[in-house]
Amino acid sequence: MSFDTFIVHVIEARHLASMDRGGTSDPYCVLKSSFNSQKFKTKVQKKNLTPRWDQEFKIFTTKAEGTVHLQMYDKDFISRDEFMGEIKIHLSDIPVDGVEHEKWMPLENEPTKKKVDKAQGEVRLKFKYTGRDFKPVKKVVESDSLKTGSSIAPRADSNPATPRRHSLEEEVKPVEKEIPPKTIEEKYDLGKVIGRGAFSVVKVGVRKSNKNKYAVKCISKKLIDKKELTLLEREIDIMQKLQHTNIIGLVEVIDTPETLYLILEFASGGELFDAIVNRGNYTEVDAARLIKQILSAMAYVHSHGIAHRDLKPENLLLANEPGQSDLIKIADFGLSKDFGAEQMATSCGTPDYVAPEVLGGEVYDSAVDIWSIGVITYVLLCGFPPFYGENQKELFENIMKGNYDFPDPEWSGVSEDAKNFIKKMLVVEPEKRYNAEQCLQDKWLQDLASDRKNFKRVETFSATKFKAYAQKYKEQNPSPYYEGEH
């Protein structure tokens, strides 16, 4: 049974404690998972002892293990919020059947001194496992009469001979799987090399059945050790989970005795920075549209509990169809990691784009990606990076201190909204840095999305400096995806 999401639907509550002097409360709920860093909060229901939220939250996991901790608080608009009780939802108690189960669950550790109603406080919740390849059972299961503290299970059928719950094997017919090819040549015609990595090459591949073009990453098993194989398996697992317009899609994996082939979407537009070098006119609208796509993808990635950890120019590709506007495709999830599964403290990334907490050897999370996007935004608007140094030591010191500015004349023609947007991302303290969702709501991007503001061409954009920077960067950081013409 394959699933990737556990859905918790917080509906309503009853028999709550009266936390205010007026005999009411302003309750809201906070949900935290024990297996990743996802955290959610419902809206506040003012002056209500029977609040109704009716809010659904998606928690990403592939195992029916761990707990989701629900804590209820009374919102105090003057001082500290007060605790009203808690519920621990054990995922192992929820049937993995794709069916929505509903239950009133009791609040533990309530402030009994403030209880007017002697009945125990309860929250009505719904639960369900789901996923892209998940096949739910056909029978609708009702579970509203379940007893508190017991594992959630369907009611017994009126016919005593009927089992309480049919197994998935009995309910779902097996899906016929395509027989994997023994060689890559059975399905694809491989063409020229368009990129190289440490133990791989990327070739153009044309599928024989439909003539569609793909990028085929060919990984020699002879050149990788067990550690590299583990990282590769993690990359494949992450890419199979992620399906987003602005992320390079993993179409399929072909495993042969000597070579592992990753069949990827083909980004016909090549690398983003190359396209900018070749472009004549350039506006803040162009930059904002590109950054909005990157942020949209990262908001999606982060919601799955994953950090990319290596956002940089060569991992930003374009997949434009003729006559269409720029379509960003984010590539290379080789350093990506589930930041909920274990702590991230490994020093990785590319010097110009790495976050200060990574350089400082601190435990970090998805905020490192926002820093990288801040650097990318800066480069897109002026043509050179925000942090410089005579050597790498000086560069890293400036990054860790957040030493950057907006020098004239390159920044004189850029809007204050754009500068303020960058300032919210290039914040040394990660807890004060905007997250992807906050960035998407920023005035600079919002004005663009709703056409409330007409951005002019960035007259001060240094195309010469951008070209020089892009060329130097490419020499120091050769792309694993595209080289030469494409």
| 35-44, 227-236, 245-254, 350-359, range with greatest mean pLDDT | 245-254
Beta bridge partners, 12, equal 52, 124
Place of tokens 């205010």: 20
Q: 153-186 burial, b if ≥16 CB within 10 A, otherwise e?
A: ebeeeeeeeeeebbeeeeebeeeeeeeeeeebee
Identity of the highest mean pLDDT range in 233-247, 305-319, 419-433:
419-433
The confidence band for 177, taking pLDDT boundaries of 50, 70 and 90, is very low
Q: Does 340 have pLDDT greater than 60? A: no
The secondary element (H helix, E strand) that includes residue 471 is helix 463-476
The pLDDT score that the predictor gives to residue 440 is 93
Give the integer Cα–Cα distance in Å for 198 and 219. 9
pLDDT band at 271 (very low <50, low <70, confident <90, very high): confident
> Active-site residue among 74, 93, 97, 310?
310
> Which residues are CB-contacts of 302 (< 8 A; sequence separation ≥ 6)?
366, 369, 435, 436
pTM over 0.85: no
Measured at the CA of 36, the angle between CA 242 and CA 372, to 5 degrees, comes to: 60
User: How far from 347 is each of 280, 309, 449, CA to CA, in Å?
Assistant: 38, 10, 36
Q: How many CB atoms lie within 10 A of CB 294?
A: 22
Indicate the pLDDT class of residue 469, thresholds 50, 70 and 90: low
Angstrom distances, CA of residue 34 to CA of 114, 340, 442: 30, 8, 31
Domains by residue range for the chain, with CATH = 5-137 (2.60.40.150), 184-265 (3.30.200.20), 270-474 (1.10.510.10)
Per the listing, tokens 């040549």 go with 185
Over residues 160-176, mean pLDDT: 37
- Alpha helices (H) in 282-325, listed in sequence order: 284-303
Q: Residue 484: is its pLDDT beyond 70?
A: no
The amino acid sitting at 13 is A
| Orientation of helix 284-303 relative to helix 367-382, angle to 10° | 170
In the chain, the percentage of residues whose pLDDT exceeds 90 is 35
Residue that has been written with the tokens 């030469």 in this structure: 484
What integer pLDDT is reported at residue 156 of this predicted model?
36
**What is the rounded (10 degree) CA torsion for 177, 180, 181, 187?**
60
Least confident piece of the model among 39-43, 178-182, 192-196, 390-394: 178-182
The pair of three-digit structure tokens given for residue 103, joined into one six-digit string: 């239950």
The yes-or-no answer on residue 338 being catalytic is no
The values of phi and psi at residue 209, to 5°, are: -75, -30
- Span of 33-47, 167-181, 202-216, 312-326 with lowest mean pLDDT: 167-181
3-state secondary structure of 244: coil
**Residue 478 CA: distances (Å) to CA of 195, 197, 235, 355:** 9, 9, 20, 21
How does residue 80 score in pLDDT terms, banded at 50, 70 and 90? confident
Any idea which of 129-133, 184-188, 308-312 has the lowest mean pLDDT?
129-133
CB 59 within 8 A of CB 8: yes
**pLDDT for 339:** 55
Q: Can you tell me the distance from the alpha carbon of 24 to that of 196, in angstroms, rounded to the nearest whole number?
A: 65
Question: Considering only CA atoms, which of 125, 195, 170 is closest in space to residue 481?
Answer: 195
Residue 36's pLDDT band (boundaries 50, 70, 90)? confident
